[in-house]
Amino acid sequence: MLSTTQSMHFVAVLPLQSGATIRDYSLSFETYGVLNKDKSNAVLICHALNASHHVAGVYEGQDKSEGWWDNMIGPGKALDTNKFFVIGVNNLGSCFGSTGPMHVNPDTGRVYGADFPVVAVEDWVDSQARLLDAMGIRTLAAVMGGSLGGMQALSWALQYPARVRHAVVIASAPNLTAENIAFNEVARRAIQTDPDFHDGHFYEHGTVPKRGLRIARMIGHITYLSDDVMNEKFGRQLIAAGQGTAQRDYFYSTLEAEFQIESYLRYQGDKFAEYFDANTYLLITRALDYFDPARRFGGDLSLALASATANFLLVSFTTDWRFAPRRSREMVKALLHNRREVSYAEINAPHGHDAFLLDDARYLAVVSAYFDGVAKTVLA
């Protein structure tokens, strides 16, 4: 399946949760499959921290450019683009095409940098709704996302209940725990205290706070994986191990990477710092921190979810300690309390939070079966 990125410009002011506004912005998006005549087969995919509108397929002539959920979405796949019209959209504030901190602020003529408005999950949903308006899509057969994308799917069901038939919320949570916020905060401080950050206006200084981005990504990677899978994949293996069977001595260095887990993390950090925008990292982690639909309801999640009318599929993974199964069960409980139709699968998988992006037969079968049901009811 070939992918083509499109872009849509929005002139009108978008009011944001913070009280600020944004105008003259663009959203990058891709679509897969064909929108049917009554426009009832659209499925919106919401992305997490380090992803984009490029959800499925490959770009022409670039065999290795699979979208980030290509194992899930495509012709004959769990979310079957022979049946559904799938939309991937890049969030406002991202660094993969949609308007973000590296673009020019129309109010000042200067690059936004740190002045890009703080965007909330609810703002992303509002901006996605406008995109659907422009495409003439009134109602989504489904909205689906994992992690931060799952928060957007949940928020869709709350902000636009009449426009969502099904919400698929994977490896997500109704808000972040203190520990989640803590990891985000350490990553942010690493970026913000990098001398190359220049209070977020590093573009003008011709610098990139790569040190901070590297640290942020290393922390992220630790929390995406489970202790189990780290032990299985890396354990205490030394870098030079595997060359013969002789047990080599330690290097006895505090500077050189000694264990394979160290060089893996350094590599991931280096790679990330080459392409990810530091201000985007701050914005997206803050959107995660702020999401908390129960907040306006005194912390009562059942009350908060009362406005949802969609049917739900929730999926969690046993070794995911970033968004643990108990967080999904909180949502399931609150939805059941509101007599919503809810399917829930807790997948026994060793891969931690990353599992939602990986091939796992049981997981894909659950999603596939759910969308078979969606097709039967929504497309009937």
- Residues making contact with its own copies (CB under 8 A): 17-20, 114, 117-118, 120, 175-179, 181-183, 185-186, 188-190, 192-195, 200, 211, 214-215, 218-219, 221-222, 225, 227, 230-231, 233-236, 247, 250, 252-255, 257-259, 261-262, 265-266, 269, 279, 282-283, 285-286, 289-290, 292, 295-296, 321
| Active site (catalytic) residues | 147, 320, 353
Q: How far apart are CA 131 and CA 53, in angstroms?
A: 13
- Give, as one character, the DSSP assignment of residue 235: T
* Closest to 40 in 3D by CA, of 83, 97, 92, 96: 83
For the residues of 92-139, what is the DSSP string, one character each?
TT-SSSSS-TTSBPTTTSSB-GGGSPP--HHHHHHHHHHHHHHTT---
CB of 128 to its own copies, least distance (A): 20
CB of 271 to its own copies, least distance (A): 14
CB of 283 to its own copies, least distance (A): 6
Q: Following CA atoms 258, 263, 264, 268 in sequence, which dihedral angle do they give, to the nearest 10 degrees?
A: 150
Where residue 253 falls (left for φ over 0; alpha for ψ -120 to 50; beta otherwise) is: beta
Q: How far apart are CA 168 and CA 173, in angstroms?
A: 12
Q: How far apart are CA 151 and CA 286, in angstroms?
A: 13
Q: How far apart are CA 176 and CA 118, in angstroms?
A: 17
Which contacts of 62-65 are long-range, i.e. CB under 8 A and separated by 24 or more positions?
65/3
Side chain identity at 73, as an amino acid letter?
A: I
- The residues with which 254 forms a beta bridge, in sequence order, are none
CB of 280 to its own copies, least distance (A): 10
Residues 6+ apart with CB under 8 A from 107: none
CB of 2 to its own copies, least distance (A): 37
Strand 166-170: give its sheet, edge to edge.
Answer: 6-10, 25-32, 85-89, 42-46, 142-146, 166-170, 311-317, 342-347
For its own copies, the closer CB: 183 or 203? 183
CB of 70 to its own copies, least distance (A): 28
CB of 94 to its own copies, least distance (A): 14
* Closest to 38 in 3D by CA, of 378, 280, 268, 322: 378
Which contacts of 357-364 are long-range, i.e. CB under 8 A and separated by 24 or more positions?
357/68, 357/69, 357/71, 357/146, 358/71, 359/71, 363/315, 363/317, 364/71, 364/72, 364/77, 364/78
